[in-house]
């Protein structure tokens, strides 16, 4: 993974934090971002690092507030041993205080988050998910699976499992 100096400085500061707070963001908060939340929590549980991470997800849109993730997303995640129990919510201004890293799934989410960020400092917390995904997978974003078939949901989980493993490693204290 190649990281520019500004991102490297952010990751270094997060590595030193005893508790890293991560918010995943997509459009609806029913497919990609709750899946990312579940996948990262699964990595964290396998590593026994639950006390060092806070993980949540939210949507830039507000159509599905209070709902569980899309049933198809839950079924595909469950097939990989991951239960998605998040309840959909919309991004709120306080998220920029409450989280250290805010991770959009695609360019639209990135644009919308940048317009919501209350300051330049807050905007620096926004790091696209693709930053963590191995370039050999061929994706510069996590594609919306909502109108896709089963393969769309499998692709999302493949990308997220790859990216969240790298995210966990990048932000973990090497000691
Ligand atoms: P997500 O997918 O952003 O990955 O949760 C979507 C889910 C629902 C809608 C759009 C995207 N929608 O328009 O309802």
**Residue 99 in contact with residue 21, Cβ under 8 Å?**
yes
**Residue 86 in contact with residue 37, Cβ under 8 Å?**
yes
Would the CB of 8 count as within 6 Å of ligand 1? no
Q: What is the residue with the minimal CA distance to atom 7 of ligand 1? A: 28
Question: What DSSP character marks residue 23?
Answer: E
Would the CB of 69 count as within 6 Å of ligand 1? no
**pLDDT tens, residue order, the chain (175 aa):** 778 999 999 999 999 999 999 999 999 999 999 999 999 999 999 999 999 999 999 999 999 999 999 999 999 999 999 999 999 999 999 999 999 999 999 999 999 999 999 999 999 999 999 999 999 999 999 999 999 999 999 999 999 999 999 999 999 977 5
Question: In DSSP terms, which residues pair with 25 in a beta bridge?
Answer: 58, 104
Q: Is 31 a known active-site residue?
A: no
Tell me what pLDDT residue 173 has.
Answer: 75
Tell me what pLDDT residue 2 has.
Answer: 77
Tell me what pLDDT residue 174 has.
Answer: 72
Q: Is 140 a known active-site residue?
A: no
Instruction: Round to whole Å and give the CA distance between 118 and 128.
Output: 18
Q: What is the DSSP string of 91-114?
A: --TTHHHH-SEEEESSHHHHHHHH
Mutate to test the pocket of ligand 1, among 24, 30, 148 (most ligand atoms within 8 A of CB): 30
């Amino acid at each position: 993974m190649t990281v520019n100096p500004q991102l490297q400085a952010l990751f270094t500061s997060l590595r030193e934090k005893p508790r890293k707070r991560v918010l995943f963001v997509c459009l609806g908060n029913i497919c990609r971002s709750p899946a990312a939340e579940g996948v990262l929590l699964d990595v964290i549980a396998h590593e026994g690092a639950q006390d060092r991470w806070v993980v949540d997800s939210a949507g830039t849109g507000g159509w599905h507030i209070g709902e569980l993730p899309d049933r198809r997303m839950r079924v595909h995640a469950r097939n990989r041993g991951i239960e998605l129990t998040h309840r959909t919510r919309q991004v709120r201004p306080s998220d920029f205080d409450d989280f250290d890293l805010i991770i959009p799934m695609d360019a639209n989410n990135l644009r919308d988050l940048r317009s919501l960020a209350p300051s330049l400092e807050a905007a620096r917390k926004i790091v696209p998910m693709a930053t963590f995904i191995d370039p050999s997978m061929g994706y510069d974003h996590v594609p919306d699976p909502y109108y896709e078939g089963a393969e769309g949901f499998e692709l999302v989980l493949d990308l997220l499992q790859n990216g969240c493993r790298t995210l966990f490693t990048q932000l973990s204290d090497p000691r």
